């Protein structure tokens, strides 16, 4: 199994990096896990819609360049489907059961994901309607992927 996160921007805070590194280490026993960072597009605070679209387009092209044709893509999007941890674990299990050994999660930049990235996604998932920092979402996603593996293994970690 290959799990990949394609993410926009770097994690600046050490405590987030440490948490993400811990889950990367834990997940190594379940297969290959890697995070691919693409640069974020510099954008001033006040942008027109056309400028926002251009930023998302550039970031989207960078994201798409890191996704292979055979990868099953789960995009994190605020309007995506909300899943419980158990439902998420079942989704991962179903994907691997039905031949999807390469699963890629995508986290966009501060403006979100371009229409092209959302179109490429096989599934859109949401962690709710809260607005959360991308660095925190990265850590939460890593923990939830790990939790999904533990649920599927029948581990007491989930309790």
Is-contact 103 89, C-beta < 8 A?
no
Phi, psi of 121 (to 5 degrees): -65, 140
Q: Which two tokens stand for residue 146?
A: 């790990």
31 in a labelled binding site: no
Backbone φ, ψ for residue 137 (5° rounding): -60, -40
* 3-class DSSP state of 96: helix
Annotated binding residue 79? no
HSE value, Cβ hemisphere, 13 Å, CA-based, for 38: 22
User: How far, in Å, CA of 135 to CA of 115, rounded?
Assistant: 22
Write out the binding residues for S-adenosyl-L-methionine.
76, 108
Annotated binding site: 76, 108
């Amino acid at each position: 199994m290959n799990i990949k996160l394609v993410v926009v921007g770097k994690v600046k805070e050490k405590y987030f990096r440490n948490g993400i590194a811990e889950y990367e280490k834990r997940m190594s026993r379940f297969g290959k896990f890697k995070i691919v960072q693409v640069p974020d597009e510099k954008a001033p605070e006040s942008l027109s819609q056309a400028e926002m679209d251009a930023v998302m387009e550039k970031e989207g092209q960078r994201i798409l360049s890191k996704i292979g044709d055979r990868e099953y893509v789960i995009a994190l999007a605020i309007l995506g489907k909300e899943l419980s941890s158990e439902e998420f674990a079942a989704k991962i299990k179903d994907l691997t059961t039905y031949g999807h050994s390469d699963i890629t999660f995508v986290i966009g930049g501060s403006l979100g994901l371009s229409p092209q990235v959302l179109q490429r996604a096989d599934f859109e998932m949401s962690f709710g309607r809260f607005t959360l920092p991308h660095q925190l979402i990265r850590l939460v996603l890593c923990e939830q992927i790990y939790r999904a593996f533990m649920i599927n293994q029948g581990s007491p970690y989930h309790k």
